[in-house]
Amino acid sequence: MSGPTPDSLGIVTHGLRKTFGAMVAVEGLDLEVARGEIFGLLGPNGSGKTTTIRMLTGLLEPTAGSALVVGVDVVKTPELVRRRIGYMSQRYGLYDDLTVQENLEFYAGMYGLVGDERRRRVATQFAEYGLGSRAGQLAGTLSGGWKQRLALASATTHAPELVFLDEPTAGVDPAARRHFWTMIHRRAKAGMTVLVTTHYMDEAEQCDRLAFLSRGHLIGVGTPKEITARFGLPTVEDVFIELQRRDEGEAA
């Protein structure tokens, strides 16, 4: 057998499945994400993106199937995975009543960073994310763009090998989104694997590879070019709209 070994991959899933009662959220998902790759997970609301991320972070136990994240079985040993990954949930996960600095230090501490090392890493994050001027500001008083910036910084202070970003730029203005993606590219270049979900097609075009989910099924994986070529459509957005149309046609 040729091909990449599990350890050289950021994520490998086989037949990953999740049902909530009679509702099938994710069905037989086979996914491979290479290390250092920016991998976009696309699909309409309710297509299973968040459920997939939650299974890959150990927040949900799969009904069936297996998943290796950074080479570790996340179903059997979620804690071993957790210390090596970062996660930005769809629901803004920062503490409004803590300052920017306190939020960063708190999450650094949760990953066992302490003393000089923590100070050094937090200082690096301040510099890299341009948060220095906001250090003493309560997170709750930040604007949307700054909140997302802080959330990404908090999720990566411990230098994770892989980071899950669940609609990280929802409701953020274009300038802030562009800055956000600059940071993601910089991190990816440094070797961090990124799995991101988004509804913005300009962001999707920036991913190395994309996967389309529709009602829990994986219906297409490839680079943005491959995807558009396969569907014979000019842009990823057209593909997305076409898929959503088919989805609704099936549902009707």
Q: Which stretch binds another protein (CB under 8 A): 65-73, 98-106, 177-185, 224-232?
A: 98-106
Compute the least distance from the CB of residue 218 to another protein, in Å.
Answer: 22
Alpha-carbon span 109 to 125, nearest angstrom: 14
Alpha-carbon span 242 to 251, nearest angstrom: 14
Compute the least distance from the CB of residue 250 to another protein, in Å.
Answer: 28
Residue with tokens 């953020």: 172
**Per-residue contact flags (x/-) with another protein for residues 103 to 142, judged by CB under 8 A:** --xxxxxxxxxx----------------------------
Q: Which pair of tokens denotes residue 140? A: 């709750």
Compute the least distance from the CB of residue 154 to another protein, in Å.
Answer: 8
Decide if residue 221 touches another protein (CB under 8 A).
no
Which lies closer to another protein via its Cβ, residue 94 or residue 239? 94
Compute the least distance from the CB of residue 188 to another protein, in Å.
Answer: 20
Decide if residue 98 touches another protein (CB under 8 A).
yes
Q: Which pair of tokens denotes residue 17? A: 């499945």
Q: Which stretch binds another protein (CB under 8 A): 94-102, 170-178, 210-218, 219-227?
A: 94-102
Compute the least distance from the CB of residue 147 to another protein, in Å.
Answer: 12
Decide if residue 167 touches another protein (CB under 8 A).
no
- Listed in sequence order, the residues at least 6 apart from 151 whose beta carbon sits closer than 8 Å to its beta carbon are 88, 92, 93, 94, 168
Q: DSSP letters along 144-195, please?
A: HHHHHHHHHHHHHTT--SEEEEESTTTT--HHHHHHHHHHHHHHHHTT-EEE
- Binding to another protein (CB under 8 A): which residues in 72-91? 78-79, 82-83, 85, 87-89, 91
61, 173, 226, 242: residue in contact with another protein (rule CB under 8 A)? 61
Compute the least distance from the CB of residue 51 to another protein, in Å.
Answer: 10
Looking at the DSSP bridge assignments, the partners of residue 41 are: 197, 211
Decide if residue 192 touches another protein (CB under 8 A).
no
- On whether the CB atoms of residues 53 and 17 are closer than 8 A, the answer is no
Alpha-carbon span 205 to 96, nearest angstrom: 33
Contact set with another protein (CB under 8 A): 54, 57-61, 78-79, 82-83, 85, 87-89, 91-98, 102, 105-114
